[in-house]
Amino acid sequence: MQFIKSLIFNIFLYFGLIFIFILAIPSLILPNKVTIFFGRLSAKYIVLILKLVMNTKVIFHGEENLKKVDNFFVASAHQSMFETFALQIPLDGPIFILKKELLNIPLFGWYLRKIGSIAILRETTTKENLNFFDKIKERLEKKNNRPLLIFPQGTRVKLDEQPPFKKGVGRIYKALNLPCIPVALNTGKVWPKNSFMKFSGDIHISFLDPIMPGKDNDEFTKEIENKIYTEIKKYY
């Protein structure tokens, strides 16, 4: 039965997203807010089919923390493809930091480029990567304070895995000199990475109290890592 539900969900997921992305093609030459609208539409569509097919609710916690500071960046746990869509619902057109290969995906990659996503070549040292932090600050200045969204684990992990956060999150924190809002989630419980199977159960996405600027890189990295992993344990 679980296989059948997963099959139905995946059919609706991929055909539905392809349909939305095709509808969104004209937005690539229109203002960014139109493209961002289609990103949110995609997210809400996935939330809908999760509820209808998998009997899964998506619950956001702590959205009031997004109003405690004017400008901020977001550092989120990363367990599945789902949060890259879902976080577009409460956030106002987030700017993603992501691996460069994603920008080469037809339709999806075009959308990511249009909304100003910032690509990095992981595990390499290039001229492009050396200018990475300057690029972030420049992009944020041009995008009217839309929040930066990063995944400091560096890749998707299982729900109960706790790899140390990448040092880059501390460098971004120092370079931006902005509050950081940590995000804990349990998406991997319902939507495991690299798995065809999907499972029923509530998805929790928690926006935690902002961490204010002024800490050193290592102190910040340890604090955000501890906050996120402590919160995730509640959803095992």
Lowest mean pLDDT among 81-90, 97-106, 196-205: 97-106
Q: Is the pLDDT of residue 125 over 50?
A: no
Q: Is the pLDDT of residue 11 over 90?
A: yes
Q: Looking at residue 82, what is its pLDDT?
A: 97
Domain span holding position 45:
2-235
pLDDT band of residue 126 (cuts 50, 70, 90) is: very low
Write the CATH number for 137.
Answer: 3.40.1130
pLDDT band of residue 128 (cuts 50, 70, 90) is: low
Query: How far are the Cα atoms of 1, 59, 122, 224, 230 from residue 174, in angstroms, in the given order?
Result: 49, 31, 20, 14, 23
pTM of the model: 0.92
Pairing label, strands 203-207, 180-185: antiparallel
Q: Is the pLDDT of residue 69 over 80?
A: yes
Q: Looking at residue 151, what is its pLDDT?
A: 96
Q: Is the pLDDT of residue 137 over 60?
A: yes
Q: Residue 111 burial by CB count (10 A; 0-12/13-18/19+): exposed, middle or buried? A: buried
Lowest mean pLDDT among 52-61, 127-136, 187-196, 208-217: 127-136
Structural domain count, the chain: 1
Q: Residues 77-99: what's their mean pLDDT?
A: 94
- pLDDT tens, position by position, 166-193: 999 999 999 999 999 999 999 999 999 9
